[in-house]
Structure 1
């Protein structure tokens, strides 16, 4: 058993982070005790790390603990990446105070761009969630993970590529996957196994390089790539103009009688660079 106390520069609203994670039935969150258990994979080994908020928005502090001391430094590093502790939010907040999004950034002060727990599981989730309402997307993902994933200390890990590649379309159809979506998700596993897709290399590539590689895979379109770049890798300057939520948030922000055009969105976003991902995140939060 190991434990560390971590402090970072504020603002950082940990309660907003875990409230968001609590919406997913697969996540283990205790809002009262400000705790989340995070499944992480390092060198193909699985670890559960518990993070508890013990500070404030202005002075964030966390108690981080795990049962397995092997790769402890790597576990801490990965937790920091997932929770984006290495990204100071103050200069980002100050940047947006000079823009049309100043009110939204005041309302959601200290909200970080938190990553999914694992890039490969992020891609799986993006494919599963395509063209589904959020409630059923969570239900379908929960069925999938609890059928083919691994449970450690009551925390669920998504299936690895080897497991996924050996799942059949019929097995996924029984969970209410469409045939096409079942083929897509199995194909993702096979792409990793046969070397077509290397998840670890993706993290070191540019956005354009990642786009060109992922778009070749069946079932992965621009929306999926953008979501992966945002929530799988935490790229800071992405703005998904085709996202309906973003369009609705801008319609509300500017009191439009219809959704904004692509040209209008391109014009709006110029003042938000180089933090377009944070503009997108806060716009989504503004209509939730």
Structure 2
């Protein structure tokens, strides 16, 4: 199976950004564990051509509903995101031009399912990336399912029966364990329907997400830009976003959330994608990926 992507596309560069923050559900060699048709599935990805960008896919076990499976992976890979209009806009700016030129083909890859993104967002609330990664590693070890050498992320039905104390044992706070338990149960009972989210506007999604306990402004915005590929949404209160926007666009200052929104306003409808590129450049070029926090 193969996917022809909208170019430019550099899977290796994009994968480095994903695998740094995905724990054992993704590896650095282009392999990924996910659930498909009720089975933990190991996915192996390799880019075989840059022009046009072609990604070859091997799945173990072989997936059912192959066309839908391929479409799902197009979503994970952000294969249909057109970068050239975004690049043309940012190259007009003297500061952003070299950042874009150093990251050609970088696309923000999406987690393979929305519940995993919910867990990612809740685990990262008000703690460091390192601490959040430890929590997710423990969740994987406790409730994940082996898929080859990787581990498929726990599903809502894997989390819903667990008590709050079991979730706290993975490093979650009392409140976060309660939030995660409640959200998992809402997914299992159908109160939360992920399939309906794709057709909702950004504002509708943000309002709906904030109606659930444990999801505030930052979590909702983070869900949209990283989990749903909404490239104009910015988690403006995020400390990392504030740091890089201040570093590149505000003379090294520490802007508040509203100032971040104002500084990124000229780059609509790619404000979230612009912030992603600033983060990627700061982490991958200046700090080095292995030291990114």
Query: TM-score when scaled to structure 1?
Result: 0.89
Query: 1:81 maps to what in 2?
Result: 75
Query: After superposition, where does 1:139-154 map in structure 2 within 5 Å?
Result: 139-154=134-149
Q: Which runs of 5+ in 1 are unaligned?
A: none
TM (normalized to structure 2)? 0.87
Select 1:172's aligned residue among 167, 174, 186.
167
Rate the CA distance shift 1:265–1:126 in 2: closer, same or farther, 3 A: closer
Q: Unaligned stretches of 5+ in structure 2? A: 284-293
Which residue matches 2:104? 109
Q: Tell me the distance in 2 between the aligned counterparts of 1:30 and 1:286.
A: 19
Structure 1 residues 196 and 90: alpha-carbon distance in aligned structure 2, compared to 1, 3 A threshold: same
| Contact 2:3/2:74, CA 8 A, preserved across alignment | no
Q: Deviation digits for residues 167-204 of structure 1, max 9, x if unmatched?
A: 11111222222111111110111222333311111222
- Hey, what does 1:52 align to over in structure 2? 46
Deviations 1:37-92 (A, max 9, x none): 342435x5543332112223x54222112232411111111111110111121222
Correspondent of 1:125 among 120, 126, 131: 120
Give the direction of change, closer, same or farther, for the CA distance of 1:40–1:235 in structure 2 (3 Å limit). Answer: farther
- The structure with the largest helix share of the pair is 2
Aligned equivalents of 1:26, 1:259: Cα separation in 2: 34
- The answer on whether the counterparts of 1:246 and 1:280 sit within 8 Å (CA) in structure 2 is yes
Paired position in structure 2 for 1:10: 7
Say yes or no: does 1:19 pair with 2:20. Answer: no
The CA RMSD over aligned residues, in Å, is 2.0
Report the equivalent of 2:196. Answer: 201
Size of the alignment, in residue pairs? 280
